[in-house]
Copies of this chain bind each other. A is one copy, B any other.
Amino acid sequence: MKIYTYTSKSAETRVASIINRGLGFKKKDYLKVSQILEDVRKNGDNALIKYANQFDSPGLSIKSIRVTSDEIKAAAKKVKKTFMRSLNRAISHIESFHKHQLCNSWINTDRPGAFLGQIVNPVDSAGVYVPGGKGGKTPLVSSVLMGAIPAGIAGVKHIAMATPPTKDGTVNPHLLVAAKKVGIKEIYKLGSAWAIGALAYGTETVPKTDVIVGPGNIYVTLAKKIVSGTVGIDMIAGPSEILIIADNTTNPEFTAADLLSQAEHDTMASAMLVTNSQETAKAVNIAVEEQLKYLDRKDIAEKSLDSFGAIIVMPDLTSCIELANRIAPEHLELHIDNPFEYIGKIRNAGAIFVGDYTPEPVGDYIAGPNHVLPTAGAARFASALSVDNFVKKTSLIHYSKEAFKREAKDIIRLAEIEGLDAHANSIKIRLKI
């Protein structure tokens, strides 16, 4: 990796290229995805099966789009007991964390005769998208959990899942078992933009949902962006990223391993070390080169580091944190002495991993917080996927006749200033009686 110093112009250029790497879509892709969505909206199942046959599984029929209970039963026999143990542990931790996110409805009766409130209700139905994972070879089990568990805790009654089938029309058993465990009852063998279209608009076979969540490639992301507003979505996710702030108390081997765990995701992923120590910068860099040699996904990680990796040496820890706030990384690890002293200074980060024994995979799989996190600077304004995504709040307003009369003149005045005569009239007509 290249080591930059904070004063250099090249450091600034690199930071800008990392911040901006995930933004923007090609017009071509936008039009293509729009067309697919329109096709699904108009032609329903026929469109779905056309795309599924063309891109995923040539033999799939409309009748076999939905996973059967026999398939789910068979899947349970194909997975190892150790897997079930780890799965159950992860589910229990994720549930425990997300239960804290539940919000109460409330009322406010500050003013005589005015009864105001906010009612929290779950959405009726949710769709969880789970990517194929190399043609079903690397099932993204954690995506099933992170998408469906907060929906279940919110109280969503109908949770559907869509995931592309393998060429022979099957879904990896680990995904099916995980889906069953977290209460998903409908699973559809659908991928890419047409899966999102089906969940957003509904077809003869796939009921439409109110909220769609889950990661995916550029087509999935664009489709989510386009249907957003017709349904709720979790977020427009870009490629993954980590920023590690380390001082000279860090173990360079740990820091290097964590940078690589991010870089292996994809060639657009970004891994950055920001440090106040030139020695740490060098030691981590050596460890990265060494560990890289032995990785299965060496090529991906190497390309990611070349394109969007960086080691930046800053004058002190405060300026390290300020740089992190500017970048607003998805994952922020603190490999520093007394890390809790700095938490209060961090304004923009998806998730903060504190200390030497909290590498990012702890959060990806088992700690409990959601691993669906804002990327590409969106942590400036967005949050992890949560129970919030699966509820909506309805305002409640009730005025007594007395409260109404007390405030009627003000309402009329404000309505008239805005030129909304009929608004004023709906007040005046009630004053006559």
Contact = CB atoms under 8 A, between A and B. Distances in A.
Contacts of A361: 411, 415, 420, 423-424, 426-427
| Interface-central residue, A85, A115, A355, A430, by most chain B CB under 10 Å | A430
A114 B97 CA distance: 11
A364 B395 CA distance: 12
Interface string A286-306: 000001001111000100000
Nearest to A226: B225
A139 interface: yes
Given A97-B116, A100-B118, A366-B407, A141 B426 contact: no
A386 B393 contact: yes
Contacts of A429: 253-254, 257, 291
A82 interface: yes
A411 B366 contact: yes
Nearest to A101: B118
Given A114-B367, A229-B235, 8 more contacts: A87-B414, A116-B369, A133-B418, A229-B376, A230-B377, A257-B422, A291-B429, A354-B398
Interface stretch (A64-72, A187-195, A344-352): A344-352
A108 B368 contact: yes
B417 A138 contact: yes
A343 interface: yes
Contacts of A350: 394-395
A382 interface: yes
Interface of A: 23, 27, 34, 82-83, 85-87, 89-90, 93, 96-97, 100-101, 103, 106, 108, 110-111, 114-116, 118-119, 121, 123-124, 133-134, 137-142, 174, 210-211, 225, 228-232, 235-236, 251, 253-254, 257-258, 260-261, 263-265, 291, 294-297, 301, 339-340, 343, 346-370, 373-374, 376-384, 386, 388, 392-401, 403-404, 407, 409-411, 413-415, 417-427, 429-430, 433
Instruction: Tell me the number of copies of this protein.
Output: 2
Given A96-B108, A388-B388, A381 B116 contact: no
Contacts of A362: 397, 399, 404, 407, 411, 427
| Interface-central residue, A253, A381, A396, A427, by most chain B CB under 10 Å | A381
A111 B369 CA distance: 14
A93 B111 contact: yes
Contact of A359 (B83, B260, B426): B426
| Interface-central residue, A86, A232, A425, by most chain B CB under 10 Å | A425
Contacts of A418: 133, 138-142
Contacts of A413: 82-83, 86
A350 B119 CA distance: 10
